[in-house]
Amino acid sequence: MMPRVILAMLVLAVTACDNAPPGQSGFAGLGGEAAGFAKVTPGRELVFPQDHGAHPDYRIEWWYVTANLTDQTGKQWGVQWTLFRQALSPQTAEAAADGWASAQVWLGHSAVTHAQGHRHADRLARGGIGQAGVKVEPFEAWIDDWSLRADASGNLDRLAVSAAGEGYRYQLELTSSRPLVQHGEQGFSRKSTGEQASYYYSQPFFEVSGQVEWQGESYKVQGQAWLDREWSSQPLAADQQGWDWFSLHLDSGAKLMLFRLRGDQQHYQSGSWIDPDGVSRSLPTEAIKFEPLDSIKVAGRHVPTRWRLAIPSEQFEITTQALNEQAWMGTAIPYWEGPIQFSGSHTGSGYLEMTGY
């Protein structure tokens, strides 16, 4: 789910880093050098709840919620809530909290999608002054009036998420009793055959209920949601121009995360198969087959909104279909993100994100 990072940078091209060469590398500059920032290395144990908070010594970071919902008439909805953090220069935690001198920039994206419509909005804020940020205890991530916050218990098991944009507004309750899932090697998630990597964990088991308001009409919704947490300093290799990322809720109760980073010569692929009890196993590059089927034209670009995905070792082969093919996020750095449904060896719903098209 790293891709999201990008967006942040987009707004503030990565060349902000004093030592970085001008010009962009990778999608939105995410492949640029990360001199002065902390490095993502294997073997670092994730510590909670501290790691739910921000890591200003790393360049980029995000808190990402996607939800597949159904209203009382059976109509399907997709909801996205994202908060990105980007450090314009390496900084200690104290400096990052020091008012306007903070080099942290926060970016929020939210969207609501159904079969006939897709609306999105973004928010941008400086760090250090309280307009946007993340608190660990009790957990709260916010930018302006958008927030993702824990209830009185203070941990990530029960969250409330809300955002609003032109013509929409939502307020959802998220609950889960299952553990967090750490991707890759105990949360160390490789992004290339080189040094590119991120720390990456998820809570894919949220049950959701709440309200979505669309054009002034209110809809009671329920369904499933997926929370991603990821941070890094250099998540992309210089030749990686974009990615395709899937988060899937299987009707069997299992969850599946798959991504593919598209390089000039070869693509880097990875994923996690998560059993209904929360036990997960990493999927290596060669275990996964991505096959884009039909492309459609959206915002002047050709984007593959139908895919065939296969993991032969798991007897898994599905075809995915977008709920709304026009789920384009026309933000400063644009990308496609929207709810999907799938069928084949398994059925279910999920979210797809595609960048760099």
Which chain residues interact with other proteins by CB under 8 A? 11-13, 15-16, 22, 88-89, 99-101, 103, 105, 124-126, 129-131, 142, 144-145, 164
Closest CA to 206 of 235, 177, 248, 229: 177
CB of 93 to other proteins, least distance (A): 17
Q: ∠336-185-31 over CA atoms, to 5°?
A: 45
Q: At its nearest, how many Å lie between other proteins and the CB of residue 131?
A: 5
What three-state secondary structure class fits 239? coil
Phi, psi of 50 (to 5 degrees): -50, -40
**Minimum distance between the CB of residue 11 and other proteins, rounded to whole angstroms?**
7
Pairwise CA distance, residues 270 & 302, whole Å: 24
Pick 80 or 102: Cβ nearer other proteins:
102
Find where tokens 């250090």 sit: 128
CB of 56 to other proteins, least distance (A): 14
Residue 12 or 296 having the CB closest to other proteins: 12
210, containing H or E segment: strand 197-214
- Candidates 88, 119, 91, 84; CA nearest to 6 is 84
Residue owning tokens 């419509």 = 117
For other proteins, which is the closer residue by CB, 38 or 88? 88
Q: Quick one: 117 exposed, middle or buried, by C-beta within 10 A (0-12, 13-18, 19+)?
A: middle
Tell the smallest beta-carbon distance from residue 22 to other proteins (Å).
8
Residue 99 or residue 194: which is nearer to other proteins going by CB? Answer: 99
Closest to other proteins by CB, 46 or 160: 160
3-state secondary structure at position 4: helix
Phi-psi region of 187 (alpha: psi -120 to 50; beta: other; left: phi over 0): left
> Please, which residue, 46 or 332, has the CB nearer to other proteins?
332
Residue 128 CB, shortest distance to other proteins, in Å, is 9
